[in-house]
Each structure stands twice: as C-alpha cells, then as structure tokens.
Chain A
Amino acid sequence: MADLRTRIGSLELQNPIMPASGTFGIEMADIFDFDLLGALVLKTVTPHMRAGNPVPRVCELPNGMLNSIGIPSKGGDYLVDRIIPQFSAFKPPLVVSISANSAEDFAKFASRISVAGVDAIEANISCPNIEDDGHAFAMSTTATHKVIAAMRKATDLPIWAKLSPNVGAPADIARAAEDAGADALVATNTMLGMAIDVKSGKFKLGNVMGGLSGPALKPISLRVTYQCVRAVSIPVIGCGGISTVDDVLEYLMAGAAAVQVGTASFIHPMAMPDLIRGLDERLDAEGWETVSRVNGMLAQRREAANVLEYA
C-alpha cells in the first residue's frame, strides 16, 4: 500500500483523487462508496435560482465533449438546507463550489455557506458559460484578485480558486489569486469551444459556445497546471481530461498536489475509485512510496525556465 495522502493547505486528503465540479452529485452514491475519495466537490451553486441554458446542452467530440449546461442552480438556501446535509454522512472533506455575478456577491455567498459540514470553498471564477461572450472573472488578474480578496474577508474556510485555460498568461492570474489569499488553485476549468452540425447548418449547442472537456483538453490543462505550479507557492490541483492512471501521474509530475476527475466519470462512473486503486498499485509497482515523491520526479530541463517567458 502506497501512501496516497496529500495536503491542500490545512486539509489533509487520504488520496489525491476528487471529482471535478459539475460532474459529481449524490446520485453517484448509488454506484460507489464516496468514502474512498480524497475529497467531495459539489456542482457549482449560485446564490439565487438559475434555470440553466437551452438544450442541447452537450455535444460529443471524437475525444471529448462540449457543454453549455449553464449552471442550473436551486440557490443558496437549498444548498445549505438540503444538499450539504446529504453529504454529512461521508468522511472526505466537502468542497462547495460557488459562482456569483460580482465580487461582492461572491463574498456574501461565501459567508452564507460557511456552515458546519463545509471544509473548503471552490470559487468558480472560470465558467465560460456564465458571462457574456464566454467572459469570466478568471480571464483578468484584476477581477480574479477582487473576487478572491472579497471572499477572503468573508470566510475563514480555505478558498480554492478555479482558474480558466482561456487566458494568455495563466501565471499572472495564478499569482493574483495567491496574492488575494487563495489557499489553493484548481487548473483548469473547461476551454471555450464551438461545434456546428454541417448537415443541418445548426450549432451543436443551444447556447452556441460551450466548454471543452475530456481527453482533448488534457495537454492544455496540464500545461496551465505546470505554469501555475511554477508561479505560486500554494498547492495546485490539476483538472482536465484525466481518465487513466498515467494521466494522474502526468499531473502529479507537473507538480499538482491532487487532481480532479470530471468528464471521465460520465463515461465510466467507476472512474474515480478505479483510479485510486490503480494509482495505489502503480506507486507500489514502481517503488514510488508517496504522492510528493511523484511530484518531484519531473526531470528539470533548462528550457523549462524559459517557458515562463511565454506564460
């Protein structure tokens, strides 16, 4: 048995595998034991009710998918009164993902959900669906700093900033989140994309544009994860296209302290428990005892430092 424990700020996780927000819910307790997971990350909730986007909300690609679900949300009261208690029976830390329309609303909502049973707040400042024309707070250093700083004043819970791959300089955004008081970063959310059905001449998504996820996203999120790891001293959680143990190892070698598994669970609902078991076996087989040992395995090349100049 390898030692899979990993530390995200003040939280110790029993292993580095957790769900990506929006791909996990209480329904999956019908399939596997949540107590196996490193942490539980809920679907993003907004302070007030939201209906979500028109269908079709998803479309498949050869090696991934696009979604424009649009964060349908039952609001903050439903989250606190109904959803959070549903997870009280499970042992892994509970991470609540939130989104709002302004820094002030993020702060108010962070305060509202800082209740017993919640162990960390993930700030979804990167959902490309929520702002006009795919814009998101995490595309700007100023907006990122403003949201995280406001949340920092409003809650004592750890704050994880979920960053966007739709940026030219991820390291700058990462530093802005760290400077504002984030306890960890999640890299990344989906990449903004589009698809057209050439037979009908129609957009494949009801909302025209949507977020790319799945294996097709992995090289981009892995690169951003690496850039963030190089830029900050807080833990970075990798997210994007992880479906195999090798994918997990790539992110860990890039320096991620943990990883989130999302789209893979849509195709293989047992993906997360399978990855935890597979990672354990792989670390044993390779003689790598710990996650932090894997973190340090990337052969450092001189060129790596130069990459930052393009970040």
Chain B
Amino acid sequence: MLKTNHELSSRPAFPLHQRTCEVKVNDPVNSQYRYLVVSAPDELLDCEPGQFFHLLCEPEGDDQPFFRRPMSIYGFDRDRGELSFLYKVTGAGTRSLASLRAGDGLDVVGPLGVGFTLPEDMTHPLLVARGVGLATLAPLARAFRQRGVKTTAICSARSADLLMSVELFEALGVRVIPVTDADGNSGTGAIEALIERLVAEEKVDGLYTCGSKRLTTLLKRVSSSHGIFGEVALEQHMACGVGVCQACVLPFSRDGRTQDLRVCRDGPVFNLTEVL
C-alpha cells in the first residue's frame, strides 16, 4: 500500500530541526560536481528518499547568498551518523558550499518536504535522470534494492566523464543504462524508445525522475499511456523552505482543478499525473 509522510504513525512532535553539522568530506567528483558529507544526529536522519535539507550558505568572497539553498538528500546512513549531498557548483550559494572544509560547521534545516512513494507491489521501477538529478534518485534506488526489488536506472549526461552515480547505482545492484549526448543516444526520441522497450519487455511498473522538464514530460506521457505509476522530484527557488512564504509555488492539477502548490511543502515529489 502507499505510504506517505502524512501517514507515518510515529511522527515526532517536532519533526523538523535546525542543527549545525560537522563537515566530514567536501570533495570534487569531476569538473562540475562535489560530494559533501556531514555528520548528523539521529533526528536529522529520520528522513526519506526524495526529501531535502535547507543549507545555510555563508558569505564567501564576493558571493553574499542570503537565502538558504535547498539540497536533495544523496544519502543518509543512520549507522554511520552521516548525511550526504551531491551538488553542481553553479552560483553564489553552491560556491559558498564548495568552500567548506572538513571540520567546518554547516547549518542545516530538515528533513523537509514529501519524499517518494514506494508502492509495496512494485516489481520493476525505472529511474531516469540527467546529470545531478541522479543524486536525488540515489536514496530511492537504495530503498528499492534493500527490498530486493529489481531496479533499472537510465543515467544521462553530456559526456561519459560527466555521468554521475553510475558506480554507486551498480554497487547497489541497480542495472545502469548510460546514455550521453556524445554517443547520440540521449535525445528524447531515443530515450522514449528505450523506455517503451523496457516497459514492453521487462515489465517496468514504476517511473521516477528528477529535475529535467524534458524527461518529466516524456515520463508523464509514458506513465499516462501505459497507466504506470510515476513520480518526479521538482526543483524550484525557495525562500523559507518550510511551506510558509509561498515563494516556490507552481501550478499543478490536483482534486480536479489547477492549483498552486508549494514545491517545498506539498512536494518536492509529485505524481506525474499532477504535473502540468
């Protein structure tokens, strides 16, 4: 049966926390991406795939980020007391994060938002994402594999050296199908044909994606034409991150009408049928 955050029976009185965590690792993965690991107390690690944390970005040089930056969870490990993120350095906020060194403190708020749904009767989920979008799907892949569910991931990137998380996914026992612009097999048509084949021949019965509008539109089409359950984790600029300010709203189709929903609180994960 479907389980959502709202139905967790043992929800603590204060499920959200603001804590300063010690940075353990903040290393470049390739020319664009970095891997950040912080030590985290138990209450922060009571989280789910698809949820995110809101990270405080201190002023650094000419960069003066004011808002926190929402960052999806790349990994959470209760045994090791670790929380990890995979991010692309693109602007003032992520440049500030990139300057953190082991031993520095990082102020985080979370866990935030509604995570992915993992239907218990799903037998073959397909995860599709491009670039850093794979980071958001990594904890989902781990959760499916912990259940012993056959899982396939289509990883897309500009070139082979920018493919993210392939080793991690393979180590989890996920079958990875890499597609790149360089190889000419990452276009919408090629990916759609690939997904159609996986649905027909391998009985894919779940679709998950993150970030890319192009992939979301494609998966929504496959989801609706085959009646396959699917979800997308969306990204949006945020101010408060907790659902108060209404800055991060987008229009969705829900309850038979178009309405503005908050990506931070009502999402960031939405059913593909709701995405407009």
Q: How far is the CA of A1 from the CA of B15 in the complex (A)?
A: 29
Contact of B242 among A60, A67, A269 (CB under 8 A): A269
Q: Does A27 make an interface contact (CB < 8 A)?
A: yes
Q: Does B94 make an interface contact (CB < 8 A)?
A: no
Q: How big is chain A's contact interface, by range?
A: 20 to 34
Which of B15, B68, B244 has the most chain A CB atoms closer than 10 A to its own CB?
B244
Q: How far is the CA of A22 from the CA of B260 in the complex (A)?
A: 17
Q: DSSP majority for the B interface? A: loop
Q: Does B239 make an interface contact (CB < 8 A)?
A: yes
Contact of A22 among B18, B109, B241, B245 (CB under 8 A): B245
Q: Which residues of A contact B243 (CB under 8 A)?
A: 25, 27
Q: How big is chain B's contact interface, by range?
A: 20 to 34
Contact of A267 among B17, B68, B237, B265 (CB under 8 A): B68
Q: Which residues of A contact B149 (CB under 8 A)?
A: none
Q: Does A9 make an interface contact (CB < 8 A)?
A: no
Q: Is A65 in contact with B239, judged by CB distance below 8 angstroms? A: yes
Q: Does A78 make an interface contact (CB < 8 A)?
A: no
Contact of B239 among A32, A43, A51, A58 (CB under 8 A): A58
Q: Given A63-B64, A64-B66, are A25 and B247 also a contact pair (CB < 8 Å)? A: no
Q: Does A304 make an interface contact (CB < 8 A)?
A: no
Q: Which of A1-47 contact B (CB under 8 A)?
A: 22-25, 27-28, 30-33, 43
Q: Which of B221-276 contact A (CB under 8 A)?
A: 237, 239-250, 260, 265
Q: Given A55-B250, A72-B260, are A30 and B242 also a contact pair (CB < 8 Å)? A: yes
A-facing mask of B162-183, CB < 8 A → 1, else 0? 0000000000000000000000
Q: Which of B1-57 contact A (CB under 8 A)?
A: 14-18, 56
Q: How far is the CA of A22 from the CA of B245 in the complex (A)?
A: 6
How many contacting A-B pairs (Cβ < 8 A)?
88
Contact of B260 among A33, A52, A269 (CB under 8 A): A52
Nearest CB in chain B: distance from A159 CB, A: 24
Q: Is A32 in contact with B237, judged by CB distance below 8 angstroms? A: no
Nearest CB in chain B: distance from A203 CB, A: 14
Nearest CB in chain B: distance from A62 CB, A: 4
Q: Does B105 make an interface contact (CB < 8 A)?
A: no
Q: Does A69 make an interface contact (CB < 8 A)?
A: yes
Q: Given A60-B65, A61-B66, are A266 and B16 also a contact pair (CB < 8 Å)? A: no
Q: Given A23-B244, A31-B14, are A266 and B239 also a contact pair (CB < 8 Å)? A: yes
Q: Does A111 make an interface contact (CB < 8 A)?
A: no
B-facing mask of A192-217, CB < 8 A → 1, else 0? 00000000000000000000001000
Q: Is A52 in contact with B242, judged by CB distance below 8 angstroms? A: no
Q: Is A265 in contact with B240, judged by CB distance below 8 angstroms? A: yes
Q: How far is the CA of A178 from the CA of B276 in the complex (A)?
A: 49
Q: Is B265 in contact with A27, judged by CB distance below 8 angstroms? A: yes
Q: Which residues of B contact A31 (CB under 8 A)?
A: 14, 16-18, 109, 242
Q: How far is the CA of A214 from the CA of B240 in the complex (A)?
A: 13
Q: Is B16 in contact with A269, judged by CB distance below 8 angstroms? A: yes
A-facing mask of B209-229, CB < 8 A → 1, else 0? 000000000000000000000
Q: How far is the CA of A268 from the CA of B109 in the complex (A)?
A: 8
Q: How far is the CA of A63 from the CA of B67 in the complex (A)?
A: 10
Q: Which residues of B contact A282 (CB under 8 A)?
A: none
Q: Which of A250-307 contact B (CB under 8 A)?
A: 265-270
Q: How far is the CA of A67 from the CA of B247 in the complex (A)?
A: 8
Nearest CB in chain A: distance from B149 CB, A: 31
Starting from the known contacts A52-B249, A55-B237, A55-B250, 10 additional A-B residue pairs (CB-CB under 8 Å) come to: A23-B240, A23-B244, A28-B244, A52-B246, A56-B247, A58-B67, A63-B64, A67-B247, A72-B246, A72-B260
Q: Please list 16 pairs of residues, one from A and one from B, whose beta carbons are closer than 8 Å in the complex, sorted by A's number.
A: A23-B240, A23-B244, A25-B243, A28-B242, A28-B244, A31-B109, A33-B14, A55-B237, A56-B247, A57-B246, A57-B249, A62-B64, A67-B245, A69-B246, A269-B109, A270-B18
7 interchain residue pairs of minimum CB distance: A60-B66, A27-B243, A62-B64, A58-B247, A266-B240, A25-B244, A30-B16
Chain B interface residues toward A at CB < 8 A = 14-18, 56, 59, 64-68, 109, 237, 239-250, 260, 265
